Amino acid sequence: MDCEKPRIPANPADPGFYKELLDHMSDGVYFVDRDRRILYWNKGAHCLTGYKAEELVGRKCQDNILCHVDTAGRRLCREDCPLTATIKAGEPQEANVFLRHKDGWRVPVQVRVQPLRGADGEITGAIEIFRDSTAQNEARRRTEELERLAFLDHLTHLPNRRFLDMSLQTALNEYDVHKDPFGVLWIDIDEFKAINDRFGHACGDRALIQAGKTLAGSLRPADTVGRWGGEEFLAIVRNVNRENLEALAQRCFVIQRQTLVPVEDGTRIAMSISVGAALVQPGDTAESLIDRADKLMYKCKTTGPSAVETE
């Protein structure tokens, strides 16, 4: 995807100055009219979503193109849309949401909306500015460092098992000395073999990549999630109690359920995950903690329909 920023005209009196200035921003920016019809879509919005201006200008937000959801997985484009609230009330709105990238994965973004008014003061539409949330930026920085240290899984660009082993041992050492609480999420893609068998290994690889990106965006900046091996992922979440741990596990499940994987024929398939969540206990080793989380995860698969099990 071409996200190279254009040159900005030197003269602010040039009619193209402000458009080029907006296109130069890394933040996504778009304008809508009172009917939420998209009138302008900048280069930053293209880079963050995968959609070019010519694909979206003239379409309406309620077409649910970006499929905005909150952390509970509730769809916002047709119900609690910040743009609608701003246009109706004339007040700015802020929200943290997940949009769906054109290629299928979920992107966490911080959204700010301001009303647009005509010369008579009447509301004519709204402007939305959105950017990668902190977790996504932190994940990008961490990826660069992991790649340098050869701790990166080269398919998903998440931490690999070697790094997860080291991080888990560090968390256990800190717990033994300072009693800093933490937990682990053992995550498995449901029916992964069926995805491979029916749609091919290339589709299976895309499923792993999409799952990894969505999980990284669903957790907090201080949490660590990586690929353990195969279709299994491990997240190490710090400073949590049972309630916090369960809420994070549920968020991962709900947001992942909104992810779509592209297939060679142009269609997309949904995928789900099962999550086992275990809190550290006195005397735990890395093996015993992972074993408890693994058993909870398999309980999800055998008992259903719960996708999250927490001890």
Report how far residue 203's alpha carbon sits from residue 212's, in angstroms, rounded to the nearest whole number.
14
Has 231 been annotated as catalytic?
Answer: yes
CA atoms of 126 and 38, how far apart (whole Å): 10
Question: Could you tell me the strand order of the sheet in which 224-229 lies?
Answer: 224-229, 232-238, 182-189, 273-279, 308-310
Task: For residue 166, give the DSSP letter.
Answer: H
Annotated active-site residue in 20, 91, 147, 231: 231
DSSP letter, residue 219: S
The CA angle 161-149-154, to the nearest 5 degrees, is 55
Helix or strand holding residue 28 (H, E): strand 28-33
Q: How many residues does the chain have?
A: 311
φ/ψ bin of 174: left (φ > 0), alpha (ψ from -120 to 50), beta (otherwise) = alpha
Q: Is 39 helix (H, G, I), strand (E, B) or coil?
A: strand
Unique residue bearing structure tokens 């309406």: 60
Provide the annotated active-site residues.
231
